[in-house]
Amino acid sequence: MNELLSKNIDELGEILVKMGEKPFVAKQLKAWLDKGALFGEMTNLSKSLRQKLSDNYTEGYAKVVEKLTSTDGTIKYLMSMHGGGLIECVVMTYEHGSTLCVSTQIGCRMGCTFCASGSEGLIRNLSTAEMMSQFIEVNKHDRISNVVLMGSGEPLDNYDNTVAFIRALNTEQDIGMRHISLSTCGIVQGILKLARENMQVTLCLSLHSALDNKRKQIMPTANAYSVKEIIDAAKIYFKNTGRRIIIEYTLISGFNDSGSDIDALVSVTKALSCHINVIPLNQVSGDLTEPSQKQAYAFAAQLTSRGRSATVRRSLGSDIEGACGQLKFKREGQ
Ligand code: SF4
């Protein structure tokens, strides 16, 4: 059955007019859909219209298949998408509010070796409505103030749907652009295109090594884009948006944590307005080794002693299959 969540006001108006309604009812219907209401709950629509809608359409929301709450308060949802397939999204609670991590694709074709989502390859892009359905479902229970596009998928590999989702979050759900972050593994053309969108979204770069030869070992996209090209694109992004770049650096013990790794990272970030998030690896496979908390803090301390802004990102939800894709794999493997 056709869903309505993906329709804009004009499209909803056309549907309603065919049902004998006035076009202005589309605005009321859209407001209910944005809140996640079921047809039966849309109390300012007539009973007969609600009946006609449910006979011919579905709302198009995601369905929660499983919900796990960590001892630290992090909540992980496994959701079934309207168009088929499972994704995960995570809510992290901070002092300043709740942040939702949204998935933009089912699977991912970027193939980063440390990532569970990348190991299955790309299954399909999510539509704008499917991204929004993650927000709507979670926002019904937990008021979301920030959104990060860091779940499964490479957002810039699903560019148009992702940008439309960001604009809709801003205009329909009242999430400020500065409260939205997009994480990329470094798709240079995508970063440059995003820099021209006139959106003040925070750009997070998954760098993980400042050395091309090491990046190539863990991130196949490093064969297409050098660290220099990625950093140059990030500089343009900062110039256009004024938003400080976030560098994500997954720390892998014995791989990217040496003195020469720090030298390279300090060198490439020299003329870039950025903050470095050191993220201790959450081990997915046996090949890469997790660092201790002590190692992670020592790494960040060396960066700050050399003039960089750097912190260790606390690991949330580690007792509920914290790394992206782990819950989904557990479920599918049952
Ligand atoms: S880390 Fe991100 S870009 Fe890399 S495979 Fe996983 S989801 Fe894709």
Supply the pTM of this predicted model.
0.92
pLDDT value, residue 313: 86
Active site residue 204: no
Q: What is the CATH number of the domain that holds 191?
A: 3.20.20.70
* Distance from residue 52's CA to the centre of ligand 1 (Å): 42
Which ligand 1 atom is nearest residue 150's CA? 2
pLDDT value, residue 316: 61
The helix/strand/coil state of 1 is coil
* Distance from residue 310's CA to the centre of ligand 1 (Å): 22
Q: What count of other Cβ atoms lies within 10 Å of the Cβ of residue 295?
A: 17
* Distance from residue 164's CA to the centre of ligand 1 (Å): 21
Asked whether 281 lines ligand 1 (CB < 6 A), one says: no
- Encoding tokens for residue 159? 């560019």
Asked if residue 98 and residue 42 are part of one domain, the reply reads no
The helix/strand/coil state of 114 is coil
Asked whether 157 lines ligand 1 (CB < 6 A), one says: no
What residues make up the domain containing 41?
2-58
CA-to-CA distance for 139 and 160, rounded, in angstroms?
23
Ligand 1 pocket, mutate which of 114, 185, 326 (most atoms under 8 A from CB): 185
Asked if residue 67 and residue 53 are part of one domain, the reply reads no
Asked whether 60 lines ligand 1 (CB < 6 A), one says: no
Q: What is the CATH number of the domain that holds 10?
A: 1.10.150.530
CA-to-CA distance for 313 and 303, rounded, in angstroms?
14
State the average pLDDT over residues 271-295.
Answer: 88
Q: Is the pLDDT of residue 254 over 90?
A: yes
Q: Is the pLDDT of residue 130 over 80?
A: yes
pLDDT digits (tens, 9 = 90+) for 214-245: 999 999 999 999 999 999 999 999 999 999 99
| Nearest Cα residue to 327 out of 145, 127, 101, 94 | 101
Asked whether 117 lines ligand 1 (CB < 6 A), one says: yes
Asked if residue 145 and residue 28 are part of one domain, the reply reads no
Asked if residue 273 and residue 206 are part of one domain, the reply reads yes
Asked if residue 299 and residue 244 are part of one domain, the reply reads yes
pLDDT digits (tens, 9 = 90+) for 134-171: 999 999 888 999 999 999 999 999 999 999 999 999 99
Asked if residue 243 and residue 125 are part of one domain, the reply reads yes
The count of domains in the chain is 2
Q: Is the pLDDT of residue 257 over 90?
A: yes
Asked if residue 110 and residue 31 are part of one domain, the reply reads no
* Distance from residue 46's CA to the centre of ligand 1 (Å): 46
Asked if residue 23 and residue 109 are part of one domain, the reply reads no
Active site residue 112: no
Place of tokens 């400042």: 210
